[in-house]
Structure formats: structure tokens, C-alpha cells
Structure 1
Amino acid sequence: MEHITLLIGIVIVTALVFDFTNGFHDTANAMATTISTGALGPRVAVAMSAVLNLVGAFLSVEVAKTISGGIIDEGSGIQPEVIFAGLVGAILWNLVTWLAGLPSSSSHALFGGLIGATVVSVGLDGVNGDAIVMKVLIPAVAAPIVAGIATLAATRLTYRLGRDRSPEDTAKGYRAGQIASAALVSLAHGTNDAQKTMGVITLALVTGNVVAPDSDPPLWVIVSAGLAIALGTYLGGWRIIRTMGKGITDIQPPQGFAAQTGAATVILASSHIGFALSTTQVCSGAVMGAGVGRKGAVVRWSTAGRMVIAWVLTLPAAGLVAGAAALLADQGNAGITAVAVLAVLACGAIWMLSRRKPVDHTNVNEVGTQEPVGAVTAALRSVAPPPAGAASAAPEDDTSEHTPEQTPTPAAASSTTR
């Protein structure tokens, strides 16, 4: 194996930084509903998720192959500085959406960054359009819809099967199921998302002639990527956990179990066939499906709408930032240094902004300020006004269907508005 140059070393470190941000950005995928329902304490939940993300990184390399030899043409003249610029775009978009508390896709940020930097430096010939459509765009549209519909059906079936049992009788079993399904989502996340960084590092090694094209990720790449995403997961993306656990809908244990089981099934199936889908979109779709599936539940469609907008913007936004970084990096060592300095300054500024209103394990389950009534809410209330209990529990949120039999108790209503 040839010597790893300084530039390739910088790319590897930057890729691991992205992997770290991917970890804390996507912790909510596995643990938001588990934390919001109280099935596990926040610290215990993220620790368990971190360990299982690490284990999942060793289960497959199919997604890594899609990244290293599928989306970007290895033989098109891609240089390590192009990959560096793509990673910078992905990291900055991850941090911006984390600051906003939006569960956007780290995966699509990475894809957008790599595509944008490649197009600027090499041209459209450096991008495999068919692979992007078949293994990125189609799964991006289909996966959250499939997860949402499956979870909606599972939630309704769950409540139907337990309709003759009191919530107190079933809560313990459902919470145990939530813990098991959350563990499965964490394992699936490590299997899918950690591999994306493995693929990027392998791509950098190929462009530097360190390993042969079409090679599997070396063992040290798998270990380092797994450790980076596990560390990020342990630190917890508390802002996004709050949005997914409390901001979309008020999750009960049966819904949490259904959402996590549905999401894990979709992610693991996609990882097996090499689809580098967004675990964030899958889990968010499952949570929305769980909200619609429970009669009387509150679904905050305005929050969901902002999430969808972030999903649509992720690829082009990360691509634009990465393209600008690639233009600068192509100027040589001075350009690469400038990109690195600007990236560090931008990351520092985002961190300082986040300290104005910190969110951590102590306040992650607190509900934020209420939002103005949206068009969906107004239309629904004009046709079928919600019951008094449900209305008092969430007077300002977009809602799904309400029935008098499912009206929250006063205790439940007060717990959701704390």
C-alpha cells in the first residue's frame, strides 16, 4: 500500500468529522420516540444507540460500495480535494439543520456535497446519473411513504388489538417493545449510515492510488467510521430529538413501538440491497404515520411541512456550498487551506448560536412555543371541531382526526403542554 499523503489524511479526518455530525444529527431516528414516551432515560438511550451503531457498522459494506463506486465515477479524474469540498458542504448543512432542530437527511447532504463538488471540478461526466436516480432519488421519495403507510397500518392494528385492555396493562409491554425496536433501528442506522463515510474514505483512497478501484473498505476504515458515528450518537442531537419526539406528534408507547419497528424494517431491507437511503426521512415518515394512525392524536403538519422543505433543499444546498468550496480548493494548497479555515469558522459560529437556547438531556422533552394555526388546521376545525380536551391540549397545532372516545385525560393533556 502506498503512502497516504497529507491531503488524503485531511480528507479522511474531514470524513470522520462528517460521520460524527451524522451520529448526533441522526440520534433522533432511533431514540426520539423512546425518550419522549419515557421508555428509556435520555442518557441511557443514547448510550445504547451508540453501541449498536458501532456494531451495525460491521454488518455490511453494500452501501459503502454504492458511495465509493456508484454515485461518483472513480475514473473521471476526481481528486482528493474534490471529496474534501463535498464533505465541507455536507458538514455545514448538517450543522445548520441541527441548529434549526430539523431532522433533515445527513445522507442527502453527503450526496449533494459530493455531486456539487464533482460537477464544478470535473463536469457532469463525473456523476453517474443512473445510479443517483435508482439508488438515491427513488428511495428518497418511496422510503418515507412506505414507512409512513406501514406504520399507520401497524398503529391502527395495535390499538385495535389492545382496545379491550387498559393502557396501564399494556404500557409495560409496549415500552419493552419500544426498547427492542429502538435497538433494531440503531443497529440498522449503523449498517446504513456508517457505511456512507466508509465509502467516502475508500473513494479518497482510490483517488490517491492507495487502494485499487472497486475495493471493499479496509478494516481500519470500518473501525474508525463505526467509532466516529458511535461517539456522535452518544453526545446526542437533542434539538432534533425534541422535534421528532415532541414536535411532530405526541407519541404514546404503542405508536413508538409501531414507528420504530416499521422504520427498522425499511432501513435494513434497503441496506441489504445497497440503497443509500435517508434513515432520517424513513423514521420521520414512520412517526407521521404513527400520528395519523392513532385517533385523537395531534399531528403538527406545519412542523412536518418545514421538514419536507428541508429534505427538498438538502441536495441542492449542500451541493452549492460544496461547489463553491471546490472552486476555492482547486486553486491549490492556499485554496484548500482557505476552505478549511472558513469551514472551521462557520462551524464555530453555528455552535455559538446554539448556546443561546441550549437543548440537552435535561430539557429535551419540553414542548416549545406553539405555532400559528395553519391552513390544514383551519380547514379541519371548520368541518369537525376537536373535542374540548384535545383542543385545550394543543390549541395552536395542525391536527389529524379526533374522536370523543380518544380525548386525552386532563393529566395527559397537562403532560403534553408542559
Structure 2
Amino acid sequence: MLGTGLVLVVVLALAFDFTNGFHDAANAIASAVSTRALTLRAALALAAVMNLIGALLGTGVAVTIASGLIDTPVGEDALHVVTAALVGAIAWNLLTWYFGLPSSSSHALVGGLVGAALASVTTVHWSGVLKKVVIPMVVSPVVGLVLGYLVMTAIMWIFRNANAHRTGRLMRRAQVVSAASLALGHGLQDAQKSMGIIVLALVVTGHQDDYSVPVWVIVACALALAAGTYSGGLRIMRTLGRRIFHLTPPHGFAAELSASSVLYLTAFAFHAPISTTHVITSAVMGVGATTRRSAVRWSVAADIAKGWVLTLPGSAVVAAATYGVVTLL
């Protein structure tokens, strides 16, 4: 029974990775496509490859997901907890994708894990949730916004006397690099969440004793994320690329450079699972504010922020309900 349940968890984790890919593909390529630095298919292919490479570069975030947020559950019920967490996260991803709302796949998974744990009376490490999830969730968008503003201001000063046409052409080329950098950071962050869930399932079923990530898990999650990324996420891309602020190549480059810097710092230095969506959206707002504050459609930003706030409790409720159904069946 545990063998079948473990296979189900692995399949669901890879399915979550796939939905994460098409849900968050817009994060890395929306600005590059919007500014015509890349065609849609070229941008998707670039994002898929860089997501794949990024997923192979680290496992620190995976260990945080597997061991830092809830007590390790035991027995067959443990797989119910993990299964419910994944269903809650996948359901939230599909819901927000349908409405074109850039929400966080990372926080959907964390919310699902916490909701399933609470429903099963598994101890939640609230200090770990606060330090590794809530605080980075609040701080990272602020850093992204401020850094986006500062980087864009620096670009405007450096190129203040340059020919506008030449600058635009240079920035389009630079955007290929910054978009690749952002996609690499997304892979580094987001593939590790599914890795952590699979590792948790392996530990609770007795297939391994520690929280190290097997090579096959890394490769499988990397491929699932890359495949999902290449399938695209046009609904969310329109929101990030056009509705918040009308991006130009310099704005796109500044936003992508700022967001990727935050992703690398949190993944390597703090092993914290932050949201690529939160960081790039706030960076777009930051670069837009350098033009004038009214240039940013703050009403759209407010709608996105509501989605951010609802993600953790929303996915937690779905996961808790799923746990109840699974245990009854």
C-alpha cells in the first residue's frame, strides 16, 4: 500500500512541478517578450533550458521544505498528508492560472503542507514557517521593488546622454541575458520545492533515513519544471508584461536583473523558498515608478497583492479538505 502511495506522491509532485512551470513561465519571459527582445517561442525555449539548469544547481531549499516546516509524519497517514498538500497546491495553481493572477506556486505548496499537517494533527514548526516563509515573503518583494527602482535609476543616469535608439537595441540584447538569469533563478528556487516533497515522502516510507536529495529526484523535477515552462503561461504573461506597466527594454532588463539577484541570494545564502512571482512583479513596479508613480497601474498591483495574501490560507484550506477526503477513502 505504501508503495502505491509513494508512486502517487511522486507523480503528483512532478505534476505540481509541471503546473509550476507553465504557471510561472511568464515570470522569466514576460518582459522580454513584451519588449520584443525575444519571440514567444524563443523565450519559452530559453526559459525551459535555464529552468532545467537552475534546478540542478542546489538542494538547500528542498531540505527546508522536507524538514523545516512540519514534523515528519509517520506511517501510511504520512502519505495522506503529503498527497493532500500537493493536491492543495496544484488546485491553487490551476485556479490562479485560469484567472491570469500571478500568485506564488512556492507559497501554495507551503500552504498546502501546513494545511494538511494541521488537519492530521501533525506538528507545524511555526518558527520555521515564520523565518523561512513569512518573513522572506514580506521582505523579498520590498527588496525587489527598491532594487528595481535603484537599478533603473542607475541605468537612466549611465545612459542619460546616449542615443535612445542605440540604447534600446543594446538593452534588447542585454535582456536575453537577464531573462536567462531570471529563469535560472526560478529553476534554482522552484524545482527544489517538489524535490523536498518527494524527499519527505521517501523518509516517511522508510526508503531513506536523511533528507539528502537523490539524483533521480533532482533530474525528474528539473525535467518536469522545464516541460511545464515550455508549455507557456500566456494568461499570466499578459498581466506581468503589459497590465502593470508598459515595459521598455531598459525597464525589462532592470526588472529581471533585480529579481534574479534576490532569487540567488535567498536560495544560496538563506535556503528560503521565496516566490519568483512576488519578486519579479515588485521589481516591475519599482522600475515603473522611476518614470512616474502614476505610470504604474497600482490597482492591478493591488489585485495581485490580494492573490499573494490569499495563497497560503487558500491552498491550506484545499489541502485540509483533501486530507479529510483521502482519509475517508
Q: TM-score range by the shorter chain?
A: over 0.9
Question: What SS does structure 1 have at the residue aligned with 2:68?
Answer: helix
Q: Which of 170, 176, 182 pairs up with 1:185?
A: 182
1:80 counterpart letter in structure 2: L
For 2:229, the equivalent position in structure 1 comes to 233
CA contact (8 A) 1:155 1:294 kept: no
Letter in 1 for 2:53: V
- Residue matched to 1:63: 61
Task: Identify the residue that residue 9 of structure 1 maps to in structure 2.
Answer: 7
The CA deviation string for residues 379-412 of structure 1, in whole angstroms up to 9 with x for no partner, is: xxxxxxxxxxxxxxxxxxxxxxxxxxxxxxxxxx
Which residue matches 1:222? 218
Matches within 5 A, 1:395-410: none
- C-alpha deviation, 1:153, in angstroms: 1.2
Structure 1 residue runs of 5 or longer lacking an equivalent are: 336-418
Matching residue of 1:409: none
Q: Which residue of 2 aligns with 1:98?
A: 97
Q: CA deviation at 1:215?
A: 2.5
**Is the 1:151–1:293 Cα contact (8 Å) retained in structure 2?**
no
- The question of whether the paired residues in 2 share the 8 Å contact of 1:76 and 1:122 is answered with no
The 2-side partners of 1:55 and 1:295 are apart by 37
TM norm structure 1: 0.76
- Between the two proteins, the alignment pairs up a number of residues equal to 327
Equivalent-residue separation in structure 1 for 2:164 and 2:24 (angstroms): 30
Considering fraction of residues, name the structure with more helix.
Answer: 2
Q: TM-score, normalised by structure 2?
A: 0.97
| Unmatched 5+ stretches in structure 2 | none
CA contact (8 A) 1:63 1:192 kept: yes
Deviation at 1:26, TM superposition (A): 0.7
Distance across 2 between alignment mates of 1:62 and 1:5: 27
Which amino acid letter does the alignment assign opposite residue 13 of structure 2?
Answer: A
- The letter for the 2-side match of 1:131 is G
- Higher relative CO (CA 8 A, sep ≥ 6), structure 1 or 2? 2
Q: Indicate conservation of the 8 Å contact 1:80/1:207, yes or no.
A: yes
Report deviation, 1:297: 6.9
Out of 175-184 and 307-316, give the one that drifted further: 175-184
Task: Work out the percentage of aligned pairs sharing the same amino acid.
Answer: 45
Shift of 1:122: 2.1
1:311 partner SS: helix
Please say which structure displays the higher CA radius of gyration.
1
Aligned to 2:142: 145
- Deviation (angstroms), 1:17: 0.4
- Residue of structure 2 aligned with 1:156, choices 131, 153, 156: 153
Over the aligned positions, Cα root-mean-square deviation in angstroms equals 1.4
Q: Does 1:253 pair with 2:252? A: no
Q: One-letter code of the match for 1:110?
A: L
Aligned to 2:39: 41
Partner Cα distance (1:320, 1:205) in 2: 25
Q: For residue 388 of structure 1, what is the aligned residue in structure 2?
A: none
SS in 2 for 1:79: helix
Q: 1:294 Cα deviation (Å)? A: 2.3
Deviation at 1:75, TM superposition (A): 5.0
- Runs ≥4 residues deviating over 6 A: none
